[in-house]
Structure 1
């Protein structure tokens, strides 16, 4: 059987996937939009915790690790709040919309992979995961090995955004939006997704 371009799912399971969404760099038949049947959850030490969040937000930003950049991202998006590296649980039982964030180094990508595995296995609380944002961890071009790993990790999310380094943030300047076109597209995508109707939940099979 021919394999999907996304190693997280099989070709036959991918065939019934939803249409490509903004920010996704995979063909539509290779996109994961809901937890996967048969996915094994990560070890307890590799899972994100869960936290009941006070108040409400249009979008919850979950950092996969410390220093992921969740606060910076939340500042860019209207109605967004951070969850302090935990999956959000809402007191009223409603389904939160969540963006997972990590840095583009090996530690950040590995923790994001663990978090996505937790979500894909169904071990995370009920949530509408919009995608993964990978923020550059240093100025300049990200090494190819890390870019390739980010693409693989991002295959476990409904959408993937890779965002460049912002030098102004190093100096504490967060008053204006980053000028890079990747951020403009990212902000536009999230503004639309945060107010869109959540997609129906479906199950898909995991690659052997």
Structure 2
């Protein structure tokens, strides 16, 4: 069980908590279970409760769980503020067993820029026009993040063999086998079995 003083455990809102870890250290199976495992641990560590929306907000970065040893981040925001510069950020490392303070993140200019520019505490509606992601890139991303591939996506891929060839060229063999298994699991009786 993690131990910490009450003042360390219960920071008053507004507060941000940023956790750095490696993908293979995050417990669970699949993107959803693994993400929420860390979010719950963060909230339990500080507030003795599970992560819930809308009380807490979160963001993740680089959580490609299908790839071991990938540096990834989890951010939990709690509370509201009129001035983002007044919101303290607590930095941790998840070791696979416990959250350890990691103050070096506070001095990392890349991390600080990402927090300030891309993930402000007070979220604004994006003025950027959202580009539609090609299905083949979406499927590749789902495989890397260990997310479920939707039936509509496998149907699309089945109808576009050029996208299947692109995907095969851009995936590690283990992830290609996962894709083939997903294609075969979602095929109808009329569809041929896909070979590796």
Give TM-score scaled by structure 1 length: 0.24
Give TM-score scaled by structure 2 length: 0.25
Structure with bigger RCO (C-alpha 8 Å, 6+ apart): 1
Which of structures 1 and 2 has the bigger CA Rg?
2
Could you say which structure has the higher helix fraction?
Answer: 2
